[in-house]
Chains A and B, each alone.
Chain A
Amino acid sequence: MNQATRLLLSGDEAVALAALTAGVRLGTGYPGTPSTEILEYLDQIGGRAQWAPNEKVALEVGLGSAFAGARTLVTMKHVGLNVAADVLFTAAYTDVPGGLVIVSADDPGMASSQNEQDNRHYARAAGVPMLEPADSQEAYDMTLAAFDLAERWQIPVLLRLTTRICHSKTVVATRSPAPPPAEPHFVRDIPARVMIPAYAKPAHRRLRDKLTAIAAWNEEQGPNRVYPGDRSLGIIASGVSVAHAREAAPQASLLALGLTYPLPLQRIAAFAASVERCLVIEEGDPVLVNELRAAGIAVEGKAEMYRFGELTVPRVRRVLAGDESPEPVPPRGKPPELCPGCSHRPVFEILSRLGCIVSGDIGCYTLGVLPPFQAMDTCVCMGAAIGVGLGLRHVLPEAEARRVVSVIGDSTFVHSGLTGLAEMVYNPPSTGHLVLILDNGTTAMTGRQEHPGTGRTLNHEPTGKIDFAALARAMGIPRVHEVDPMADDAAFAELISSLLAGNELALVVARRPCVLAAPHIRLYEQAAAETHANRCAAAPTE
């Protein structure tokens, strides 16, 4: 291994680099901590990467690309896979000739998420293979392995990362690029890709056969490894838990699983039989321990208290010792807050003053729930602001119903708000409703990514742009206003009050660029204007 091929990379960067090395033709996804940097880095190192409006569309685009025979990477955070699940479950039945690798970046401990769901369940529910790297080197190696697996069995592969894998930098030894894959070409295969019942019934059986074959391969050749140690204690682990367990119990024998679905059950049974006591160390739900026990393998799991939050070396030591005493609570740091000068501040001041019931959504503006505003009453998932707001309006007594406002960010609106507007026009509450789009011109929370409402692509070049006001009018919303929330406080408050008093459907686009994004946006606009001017100058005159 020579020094030139060793790099210090985050797990996200390692996945992008491996994808490029594997000849990936397209990377697509929706920004979401901790997955966002994968596509940004892929773009930076010369790959083709683009943001989709949401994860479902990203996976559909990725599936099409892979149906054409191109190696394709689709990235999202764990909750994004809920949005893309409709695609995933049936894509699993199809034959996908180009390697399709889907990154699910889970967030145990909820560093920046609304839940800590464990997406290992998705591999089992949809019936797709899952790889779980333990550090950046494995993220790199397993991304390469994922493309090979996906192509060999023509099946989408889930690469499950967690926050500590995505955002930890560790040393990676890189490999030379693979020979370039064949040019994309569409080969018609109707029974393999048109999932009507007549074709889906045999396809379901084919899927289970593929999984049986992959399990057999995993027994002999899967990316699983034994760290030999003392016979008295054996540990089975995957992902970052491998690193924690090796540090917490350096003397133990350890079986590190890389391809965690379908499991190499014979190999695991042999390992368990070779040690006196066998313990499963896993973050999140008891997925592995339950599956091993169901297969008749005698293993111990962790106490229920360790289901919650991330594992750490000290927590693994406690699990090993069977310690269920209360854990020390670390002191709380300073909570985040809306930036000084943030355009969301006046909006939440007004909503707070008017005593609104605020149906909120996911983004920076969710911080409107914290003091001094405390102006948010619900926040569940992307786009829920509109549907939840409508539900509240439908059943609350009139005086309360009139106080309900749906607040949604620009990127979140494009992600999942359009169907909410359709519902609003189709089933309008008797008191009408008010939707506020807080348009700060960027996906701010995840680090200022572009989206279809900004009119710029992932690498900040001009492209088509969705006009929210025109869209709302076209969908049949009678009262549509565009305002700068910082221009005139009193006028803005008066507008909100009057819309709440009326019985009409209303949508207000409160538009002002994010203070952090504004200087960057100015540069992108300047660059676009210069390119345009140069093109005009170069154009032949008549």
Chain B
Amino acid sequence: MNKVTNVVIAGLGGQGVVTFSDMLAMAAFNAGHDVKQSELHGMSQRGGSVSSDVRFGPTVLSPMVPAGEADYLVVLESTQVEVNRGLLKPDGCLLTPELIPEGALRNKKSLNVAMLGALSAVLEIPEPVWLDAVHAKLAAKLHKVNDQAFALGREAGAALSRPTPSAED
């Protein structure tokens, strides 16, 4: 049994895609999984499309999520949904920013952490591990507002349904 969970995070440069990815990878690592995380830097920094892959499980091989095999696709910017939809497996779970109630975030920059909260609701990693990973990536003065964003997202994510595990495992 070697079930690998595949997550793709997508958005635009400056939205915190890589920060999200770092937090997720750190949480999965601290929860005891093998982890591989991959992203492309460089040109993506200038406001263009950015995406990052995180894979975790007992043993992970390739660092990239094969197209059509993502269990979860988390998109931080609505315009990036169609560009990335092909990465998701047929019954995969799509998380879009519409999950987060309009105006509920105290700081719009916390959208990535709110979306991480939503994803956390469907992954089997304990909540304290998630919060530690969030705090490790952010300055202390940002912890409170992001804790609130995470909690908001986690509540919104509770209604999401999990994809069925892949048959090959």
Give A residues with C-beta under 8 Å from B: 8, 33-34, 111-112, 135, 163-164, 167-171, 240, 243-244, 246-247, 312-314, 328, 330-339, 364, 367, 445-447
For B63, give its contact among A240, A314, A333, A447 (CB under 8 Å): A240
A-B contact pairs, 16 of them (CB 8 A): A8-B25, A8-B26, A33-B42, A111-B42, A168-B39, A170-B37, A170-B60, A243-B62, A244-B62, A312-B62, A330-B86, A333-B48, A333-B80, A334-B80, A335-B48, A446-B42
When the two chains form their complex, are residues B66 and A170 in contact, meaning their CB atoms are under 8 A apart? no
Question: What sequence of 0s and 1s flags, for each residue 47-72 of chain B, a beta carbon within 8 Å of any chain A beta carbon?
Answer: 11101000000001111101110000
Dominant secondary structure at the A interface: loop
The smallest C-beta distance from B55 to any residue of chain A, in angstroms, reads 10
Binary interface encoding of chain B residues 11-43 relative to chain A, with 1 for a CB under 8 A from any of its CBs, else 0: 011000000001001100100001111111111
Bound Cα distance from A243 to B38, whole angstroms: 13
B64→A339 contact, CB < 8 A: no
Q: In the complex, what distance in Å separates the CA atom of A243 from the CA atom of B63?
A: 8
| Chain B residues with a Cβ under 8 A of chain A | 12-13, 22, 25-26, 29, 34-49, 51, 60-64, 66-68, 79-80, 82-83, 86
Provide the bound-state CA to CA distance between A338 and B48, in Å.
10
Measured between beta carbons, the chain A residues less than 8 angstroms from B80 are: 333-334
- Contacting pair B41 A334 (CB below 8 A): no
Name the A residues within 8 Å of B38 (CB-CB).
164, 167-169
Question: A333: which of B35, B49, B67 is its contact (CB, 8 Å)?
Answer: B49
Contact B40 A163 (CB under 8 A): yes
By Cβ-Cβ distance, the 5 closest A-B pairs, closest first, are A112-B42, A333-B49, A336-B46, A336-B48, A168-B63
Q: How far is the CA of A339 from the CA of B26 in the complex (A)?
A: 30
Residue of B nearest to A240 (CB): B63
Query: How distant is A222 from chain B, measured CB to nearest CB, in Å?
Result: 22
Checking A164, A331, A447 against B45 with a beta-carbon cut-off of 8 angstroms, the contacting residue is A447
Chain A residue nearest in CB terms to B50: A333
Known: A243-B61, A330-B86, A334-B12. A312 touches B40 (CB 8 A): no
Chain B, interface SS category: mixed
Closest B residue by C-beta to A366: B43
**What's the least CB distance linking A469 to chain B, in Å?**
28
Is the CB–CB distance between A168 and B61 below 8 Å?
A: no
Q: Give Cα A401–Cα B58 distance, bound, in whole angstroms.
A: 64
Q: Tell me, in angstroms, the Cα distance from A92 to B80 when the chains sit together.
A: 48
Asked if B41 and A34 make an inter-chain contact with CB atoms under 8 angstroms apart, the answer reads yes
A49 to chain B, nearest CB (A): 19
A34 to B41 alpha-carbon distance, docked (Å): 8
Not counting A8-B35, A33-B41, A328-B67, a sample of 12 additional A-B residue pairs whose C-beta atoms are within 8 angstroms of each other reads A111-B42, A169-B35, A170-B36, A247-B62, A312-B64, A312-B66, A330-B67, A334-B79, A334-B83, A336-B43, A336-B48, A445-B42
Q: In the complex the two chains form, is A112's CB within 8 Å of B36's CB? A: no
Enumerate chain B residues within 8 angstroms of A163, measured Cβ to Cβ.
Answer: 40
Cβ of B26 and Cβ of A112 under 8 Å apart? no
B42, A334: Cβ atoms closer than 8 Å? no
Instruction: Tell me the smallest distance from the CB of B24 to a CB of chain A, in Å.
Output: 11
For residue B130, give the distance in angstroms from its CB to the closest CB of chain A.
15
- What is the distance, in angstroms, from A362's C-beta to the closest C-beta of chain B? 12
Residues of B within 8 A of A337 (CB): 46-48
The residue on A at minimum CB distance from B63 is A168
| Bound: A255/B82 CA distance, A | 39
Q: Is B44 in contact with A171, judged by CB distance below 8 angstroms?
A: no
Contact B83 A331 (CB under 8 A): yes
Q: Which residue of the partner chain, among A169, A334, A338, A364, contacts B49 with CB atoms under 8 Å?
A: A334
